Copies of this chain bind each other. A is one copy, B any other.
Amino acid sequence: MPATIRDVARASGVHISTVSRTFSAPHLVNPETRGRVLACAEELGYRPNRAARALITGRTHNIGLIIADIANPFFPPLIKAAESQARQRDYHVFVADTNEDPIAEEELVHALAKQVDGVLLCSPRMSNSLIEQLSREVPLVVINRQVAGLPCVTMDVGQGTRAAMEHLLDAGHRRIALLSGPRGSWTSREIRRAAGVAVRAGGGELTVLGPNPPTETGGSALAEQVRRAGVTAVLAYNDLMAIGLIEGLDALGLRVPQDVSVVGIDDITLSRLTRPKLTTVATPTAAAGRTAVDMLLQHDSVATRGARGGGRSGTIDDRRTTAQVMLRTELVIRDSTAAAPADGRHRPDAEVVAPGPHRLAGPGRPTVATGGVVAS
């Protein structure tokens, strides 16, 4: 039923290749002919079949977006921005949800590989080596994680964590807890590292609780542990956990921020709507989505992984041009943090992190180009 290139050719009295050119290389066709072809195409409702085109050009004009959990409010703005940016460049996007499962992630990359020109891997939980290996199958841009040799866009949570900790230390807090995120999360590791350094530098003591599921439930489940730890302030892996924690604390009769100060990370919409409004490290999610798409398509346009043409270069070769972008974050102070209560609180009984073996910026770390802009 749908009109094909042949229908248009017949209708406009030219060869199919002329029709093809009219769409893929208009400058090569006589304006007059072009007009006629276009008119016929319009009339017949003809639209080039992208799949057929992909078969020969090797470029599908699709991209994959693999998300840890669509229902986690951190992601929708990123998805939205990525989709919008992609479409603006005439790309469509497959969105897939892994439920935070590394196995599902891998399977999805394989499944999508043939149908897309590249995949945006958002908050992957799999190993670095697996990511590298998959990047040989299809161009990858990694979001929320750094993988040496691959284009990555990350948020500067280290800086955000420092700012948050300094904010808490300034307010007189000394015993501080960190609710860490899921196992395998690069972001969580960065936060922990930065938190350890910052708290130590400020003369405080950090208690790390986790790993945890990055959800509201994950946060509220920690209320009792937080209480027992005897801390006066908490930094959570994300806003959802922070909000859950506040709920849980509330149920235990602990008030935020009077008894305990709580800081989140992400600045999801929700964080302005709960009471108390959440102090949090704002993370430029939409910018991350846009940037990742740009990086993928730039990377991708350079390297035509065509069936006919230059072959599968670009997947490996232009690693040199591979950029790692880190987007700035920003501490947003609202109502969930206040001065530390005057009375000393009881002793902790959870793990206490002495500075430990983490290097802050050792020689092994990949160079980071800080080029991002905070979403306003």
Contacts and interface: CB of A to CB of B under 8 A. Distances in A.
Interface of A: 1-2, 45, 47, 49-52, 54-55, 60, 62, 69-71, 73, 75-77, 79-80, 83-84, 87, 92-97, 110-115, 137, 216, 243, 247, 269-270, 273-275, 305, 311-312, 315
A92 B112 CA distance: 8
A351 B79 CA distance: 39
B51 A60 contact: yes
Given A93-B95, A94-B93, A96-B87, A47 B274 contact: no
Given A2-B114, A71-B80, A75-B76, 16 more contacts: A1-B305, A1-B311, A1-B312, A2-B137, A45-B137, A49-B55, A51-B51, A51-B54, A51-B114, A52-B55, A55-B55, A62-B94, A71-B76, A83-B97, A92-B111, A273-B274
Given A1-B312, A94-B92, A114 B49 contact: yes
Contact of A50 (B47, B87, B115): B115
Number of copies: 2
B77 A71 contact: yes
A92 B115 contact: yes
19 contacts: A1-B312, A2-B114, A51-B51, A51-B54, A55-B55, A62-B115, A70-B80, A71-B77, A73-B76, A75-B76, A76-B76, A83-B95, A83-B97, A87-B96, A93-B94, A94-B95, A247-B273, A274-B274, A274-B275
Q: Which 6 A-B pairs have the closest CB atoms?
A: A1-B312, A95-B95, A51-B51, A70-B80, A275-B275, A71-B76
Nearest to A84: B97
B47 A114 contact: yes
B60 A70 contact: no
Contacts of A62: 94, 115
Contacts of A270: 270, 273
Contacts of A75: 76
A53 to B, nearest CB: 9
B273 A110 contact: no
Contacts of A243: 273
A115 B95 CA distance: 15
A94 B71 CA distance: 17
Nearest to A286: B71
Contacts of A114: 2, 47, 49-51
A243 B75 CA distance: 21
Contacts of A305: 1
Contact of A80 (B97, B112, B273): B97
A257 to B, nearest CB: 15
A302 to B, nearest CB: 17
Given A51-B55, A55-B52, A95-B93, A83 B110 contact: no
B70 A83 contact: yes
Contact of A79 (B70, B115, B273, B312): B70
Given A1-B311, A70-B83, A113 B47 contact: yes
